Amino acid sequence: MIPAAPRWIGRPIRRREDPRFLRGESRFVADIMLPRMLHLAVVRSLVAHAVIKKVDLDAARRAPGVVAVMSSADLAGRVHPLRIVGIEGARAAQAPHPLLAAGKVRYVGEPVAVIAAESPVQAQDAAELVLIDYDPRPAVVDPERSLHGNVLLHEALGENVLVRWSRAGGDVEGAFAAADHVVEGRFHIPRLAAAPIEPRGAVASYDRGDDLLTIWSSSQDPHRPLAQLSHILGRPDDRIRLVVPDVGGAFGSKGAPAPEVALTALLAMDLHRPVKWIEDRRDNFLAAYQGRGLDAEVEMAVDRDGRIKGVRARLVADLGAYLYTSTPQVPITTGMLLTGAYEIPAAAVEMVGVATNKVPTGPYRGAGRPEACYLVERMMDLVAKDLHRDPVDLRRQNVIPPERFPYRTPLGFTYDSGNYARALDRCRELVEYDRWRAEQAKARADGRLLGIGVALYVERAGGQLWESAAVAVGPSGRVVVRTGSNAHGQGHETTFAQIAADVLGIDLDAIVIVQGDSAVVPRGVGTFASRSTTVGGSALIVALEKIQTKATSIAAHLLEAAPGDIEWNEGRLFVRGSPERALSFAEVAAAAYQPWRIPSHIEMGLDASGYFALRGPVFPFGAYAAVVEVDRDTGEVQIHRLVAVDDAGRIINPLLAEGQVIGAAIQGTGQVFVEQALYDGDGQPLTATFTEYGLLRAPQVPSVTSEFLETLSPLNPLGAKGVGEAGAIGAPPALANAVLDALDPLGVRHVDFPLTPMKLWKIVQGSM
């Protein structure tokens, strides 16, 4: 168990893994070079919607250096379709993303054929020789038009709805019938590209003698892709080894295996040569699944005192042409969180996920929680505006009080623990809310557009999933931790070492963290949904406690005492009341490998494995506030303050947690002001390079003031909740509310993302 006064947990320790990155000693997929390796190029559709009349591969086959060419005809009977995970209460169509387009293409960038050649240049040159005869069909890019139009993407389905889901709880009709006010809002949340520093890629090698397929993949973890590839390829999972080397960012976009990974593996097995696929930036924009993409109509029923009595919402999710494994989960999560941090007794949500001629969507940092928070928090500001209430006071009046936890929402989530008013009050103090309100009055008298925005968030983290860990202590006392969680920037090598060091009472330098290899960690789940510390860290606690128990028994035998009389303190095991009768942890570890020194009923060695499963999700929460000013002449927004107060339960490493908050908040800021993935009416992407797709530049990045509170979760031994996505959830509505508050004197009620200077300038000029 964690000591009452931990030595390592809670300390802001720099990441132990950083020096090798700074020295250039990291190893990414692109760095992997194997003898006789071939290189894969992908032929992608140039049109958004068409019947494929013919794919002519002859010229490509004859091109210099080409070893193999593959189209959908070569896959018949060899692969199984991508598996779509069922979700309770949802109906999902069987429209999985194909490995290669068969008979029809449905978005620009969809893979149609692949080329394996001796060099990347030869593969790409040959790809340009592939001739595809398209019979174009009308493209549909607007979800509402897709719902009500005549163009079908999947004729066999008979409609363009890929997912249907609804949920209701409480007396919704009664709440709205008795309401003194009903406030309505319509919102559009654009699609976003994850844009990781490292695009996707894979290397596959097949050992025919052992019948072992080894895949190195830029993924968020090895185990989920392995399970999907085992299904797609029809191979036992123990005959696939999946290795995740260093990963240059993912933000959710590398959770599901790309079709190209399976194709790389198939060619490696066919050709008995290693095959490498590394996509370029344009391919990443075209074919990596995107995030967000939602239209919403929301209503809130309010009584005369400002109490929110009910919520109704209709969500239309732009899912793209196909479903990936986790595509349906994202908009459903949005729907489930539409009561936010508030004590709202009744709610009803309907969600339809619609097919469009665009790349599919999937999880992107927050994965449904930012959308929910934005909708709820914009509605709270609209309610405050209509009732002439201060937006902070209105929120505080409606938050779930601490004594109500665990709290079950009308939509079915059970929030484990929380003190939302405390987070809101602390955020108000940090941002100096009252001072800025006074400054705002002066600014408005001078004609300046100054605004203050706040937002409360609550998010689902962890998931009802399990995780594994294993701990092996060598005779020298050195500890090797193997975890099913997998870092791609989170700092697990440091945080997991801090947990192990405190439980065992030893130094960080004595601990090694191993991750990302299915041959070393055969069973696991991975890193997503802010679950690593909560679930992976708790699995580690389970394994460590087994080590403690065994080490205690060995020490008791050696010290001639009862196990119940052995105490631990900073790596020493001693007899209670006789601290001089002691052994170091290293001495006990050495004895564990000397069978003549341990009791006969104790197995030799000092290692253990552990599994941990949450009974339900945990729910981090927090409050964000922003102060902004809109320049009347340019539409530029200056961010004066951006404050984050997050409660993620126990914080293992405040320095790394703050880095997660700041990074996520900056991504959220980009969503607010510059980012959106655009398509024209024919389904052609308009943002397929960094020239067109807006990302924040250094001068636009705001300073973030971050602070943590700790309300422990009762659902796991660490009391942790997760923090990796908090900033991407809380920052966007706080910033949006601040900008709309600045525009309030102009009579502006709402503006959809992104709040670009041009858009705001036109609004300001139109009001003058």
Which run of H or E residues covers position 600?
Answer: none
Q: What is the mean pLDDT of residues 301-320?
A: 97
**Structure confidence at residue 493 as a pLDDT band (50, 70, 90):** confident
CA proximity to 496, closest of 549, 547, 536: 536
Task: Report which of residues 446 and 581 the model is more confident about.
Answer: 446
pLDDT at 464 over 70: no
Q: Would you say 630 and 668 are in contact if contact means Cβ atoms under 8 Å apart?
A: no
CA proximity to 709, closest of 429, 460, 423: 423
Q: Is the peptide bond before 754 cis (omega within 30 degrees of 0)?
A: yes
CA proximity to 357, closest of 244, 191, 114: 191
Q: How far is residue 750's CA from residue 545's CA, in Å, rounded to a whole number? A: 53
- pLDDT score recorded for residue 4: 66
Task: Report which of residues 700 and 189 the model is more confident about.
Answer: 189
- For residue 714, how far is the Cα from the chain centroid? 23
pLDDT at 761 over 80: yes
Residue type, 86: G
- pLDDT score recorded for residue 282: 95
**Structure confidence at residue 199 as a pLDDT band (50, 70, 90):** very high
Residue type, 376: V
Which structure tokens are listed for 92?
Answer: 């999902």
**Structure confidence at residue 460 as a pLDDT band (50, 70, 90):** very high
**Structure confidence at residue 738 as a pLDDT band (50, 70, 90):** very high
Which structure tokens are listed for 550?
Answer: 């065994």
- pLDDT score recorded for residue 768: 60
The string over 579-598, giving b where at least 16 C-beta atoms fall within 10 Å of a residue's C-beta and e elsewhere, is eebbbbbbbbbbbbeeeeeb
Ranges 2-11, 89-98, 102-111, 338-347: which has the least confidence: 2-11
pLDDT in tens, 626-664: 999 999 999 999 999 999 999 999 999 999 999 999 999
Q: Would you say 559 and 568 are in contact if contact means Cβ atoms under 8 Å apart?
A: no
pLDDT at 190 over 90: yes
pLDDT at 528 over 80: no
Percentage of the residues of the chain whose pLDDT score is greater than 70: 99
pLDDT in tens, 510-520: 999 988 888 88
Put the strands of the sheet holding 705-709 in their side by side order.
449-458, 621-630, 637-647, 705-709
Q: In 10 A of CB 23, how many CB atoms? A: 8
Ranges 47-56, 215-224, 737-746: which has the least confidence: 215-224
- For residue 756, how far is the Cα from the chain centroid? 26
- pLDDT score recorded for residue 613: 92
CA proximity to 617, closest of 718, 543, 714: 714
Which structure tokens are listed for 646?
Answer: 């997050």
Ranges 218-227, 427-436, 516-525, 616-625: which has the least confidence: 516-525
Q: What is the pTM of this model?
A: 0.95
pLDDT at 167 over 70: yes
pLDDT in tens, 654-696: 999 999 999 999 999 999 999 999 999 999 999 999 999 999 9
Which run of H or E residues covers position 31?
Answer: none
pLDDT in tens, 244-268: 999 999 998 998 889 999 999 999 9
Task: Report which of residues 566 and 432 the model is more confident about.
Answer: 432
- pLDDT score recorded for residue 766: 86
**Structure confidence at residue 537 as a pLDDT band (50, 70, 90):** confident
Which structure tokens are listed for 104?
Answer: 């029809």
Q: What is the mean pLDDT of residues 375-395?
A: 98
Q: Which residues, including other chains, have CB under 8 Å from residue 140's CB and lie 6 or more apart?
A: 49, 146, 149, 151, 153, 160, 355, 356, 357, 683
Q: What is the mean pLDDT of residues 302-331?
A: 96
Percentage of the residues of the chain whose pLDDT score is greater than 90: 83
- The phi, psi pair for 383, rounded to 5°, reads -65, -45
CA proximity to 117, closest of 82, 69, 158: 69
Q: Which residues, including other chains, have CB under 8 Å from residue 510's CB and lie 6 or more apart?
A: 477, 478, 479, 501
